[in-house]
Amino acid sequence: MELSPAARLLLERRYLLPGETPHDLFSRVADAVGGPARSREFFSLLSDLLFLPNSPTLMNAGTAGGQLSACFVLPVEDTLEGISRSLAHMMLVHRSGGGTGFSFGRLRPRGDAVSGTMGVASGPVSFMRVFDAATGAVKQGGRRRGANMGVLPVSHPDIEEFITSKQDGSLSNFNISIGIDTRFLHCLRAGRDYDLINPRDGSVWKSVDPGSLWHLAATSAWATGEPGMLFFDEINRRNTTPHLGPIEATNPCGEQPLYPYESCNLGSINLARCIRKHDLDEDLLITVVRCGIDFLDAVIDVNRFLLPEIRDRTLATRKIGLGVMGFAEALIRLDMSYASDEALRFAGNLMGKIQAAARERSEELGVEKGSFPAIEGSIYSGDMRNATVTTIAPTGSLHLIAGTTSGIEPVFSFAYTRTIDGERVSIVSDLVGELLPETAGGRDVAAHVRRWGTVEGLPLAAHTRDLFLTATEIAPKYHLRMQAAFQEHVDNAVSKTVNLPESRTPDDIARIFSLAHDLGCKGITVYRYRSRSDQVLSRGCDVCIVND
């Protein structure tokens, strides 16, 4: 089993049980999920680092807790009792290692009347701060900080306060995203005023200029990296179970739209391990896809659900999300620049094959074991075991264990230092030593990359420089077109960040938001380099922190 020092350290600090080795961990997970019939096959899949499931499965499979899902959405009702209940449920999820998403859109706005009292409502953002404080007190699975997604519909009267809610450095345990609807986009394009609606009674609170809201969101994202955008028109247009109603929230990183109390299990294929002799081994890829679908579906059956509501909602749809990691490494090994039309075509073809094979296997499982109970009224006309089968997750910790690049992101830096539970680990991509020359123009290439994280400034051939572009060196249109190329063949959504250099402006970000929607993305996150003091990743010799 090939594990880097950083991977071994991360496993020791976050995943291994007392006295456990990495081999023991993968054996524990394979036995718990696969049982006698499939444990050997699943162990090979995991130990060869061809596929890894989400962190709660690695942490909890085969233990007394046994909660294996990563993604949850919880409801937030407009009553103190409902809010308190959601808060308690959130803490249970975080303690088990899961992350939670919420739509705060049902809460009445700040200053609205509260029946039965002489007081007025304090609004959604005030309650988000309560949820944030509670999250800070509960580590996920006792091993990592909890994570939340807070969503507010753009039509909510408190939307301006929400957009700027993280500019003071608060809500550190939340990602925040604006829920964009079709009516807003129509008003934005037509230059017409947009009505903000009180969710308590449906009355118009006030009318605003949608262009001003759009610019405010872009300016805030320029300053802090948030809010992101969730395009619920696109999310619900492609919802596989529309008869269950509209979806209003996602998990913390935005890749998993879910109904209230629904949960989902994610797993990612290591594409870099599917490259053999400078070509994609399609037979191996399809084998891993089919085995990955079997694994994730089996997780549902051995999972221990925290609440009856979560069990009922999850079993009704049996959603799973198979995705990929190591995409950027795979491109480099295939001699393709991330910022190229060739890479975009490859991405679409690749994910199309994965989606087709995943759907095919879920259909076979539907025939063998039965379709998901809520299939009547869904988009499917025949058998299907799972309402969704594909998701592109960020693989924040998994890619480090697998020794590859994260999700479908380009390489952020080819050299960096990570701090894992207080211990600093220097990481230089294997690609540097394998594929770059030792010197260029008399300069030590590896030393340059270790210092700066990039080949920029080295006298290398143009194609080599294009091959080793880092995330901030890639034009936004290629970030967005790559996200769209994957989204076309993904049931759920795609976690992807458009990383920008410091010099970009709020107007640039506003255009990125618009293009993301035009390309059919379900959401968009933008981050301008050094726009936050707690930046997780820095290039070269700067320190970054693992907190996922």
Catalytic machinery residues: 251, 253, 255
Vertex 293: Cα angle to 288 and 296 (nearest 5): 120
DSSP string, 354-417: HHHHHHHHHHHHHHHH---GGGTTSS-SS--S-S--B-B---TTHHHHHTS--TTPPPS-SEEE
**415, 429 Cβ separation under 8 angstroms:** yes
Token code pair at residue 402:
């697998």
Q: Which residues contact 94 (CB under 8 A, 6 or more apart)?
A: 100, 135, 138, 139, 140, 146
- Among 162, 157, 152, residue whose Cα is nearest residue 216: 162
Cα 131 to Cα 164, 257, 278, 383: the distances in Å are 17, 20, 48, 40
Amino acid at 485: A
- Among 547, 528, 525, residue whose Cα is nearest residue 254: 525
What separation, in Å, do the N-terminal and C-terminal C-alpha atoms of the chain show?
24
Cα 354 to Cα 286, 296, 369, 480: the distances in Å are 7, 15, 22, 20
Question: What count of other Cβ atoms lies within 10 Å of the Cβ of residue 161?
Answer: 16
Rounded Cα–Cα distance for residues 370 and 21 (Å): 37
Token code pair at residue 139:
């580590």
Rounded Cα–Cα distance for residues 140 and 147 (Å): 8
Q: At which residue do the structure tokens 């089919």 appear?
A: 290
Question: What count of other Cβ atoms lies within 10 Å of the Cβ of residue 193?
Answer: 12
**472, 503 Cβ separation under 8 angstroms:** no
- Among 31, 462, 100, residue whose Cα is nearest residue 249: 100
Rounded Cα–Cα distance for residues 30 and 33 (Å): 5
**232, 371 Cβ separation under 8 angstroms:** no
Handedness of CA 158, 131, 533, 408 (dihedral sign): negative
Rounded Cα–Cα distance for residues 525 and 274 (Å): 29
Rounded Cα–Cα distance for residues 103 and 8 (Å): 37
- Among 430, 446, 399, 463, residue whose Cα is nearest residue 540: 446
- Among 2, 13, 17, residue whose Cα is nearest residue 50: 2
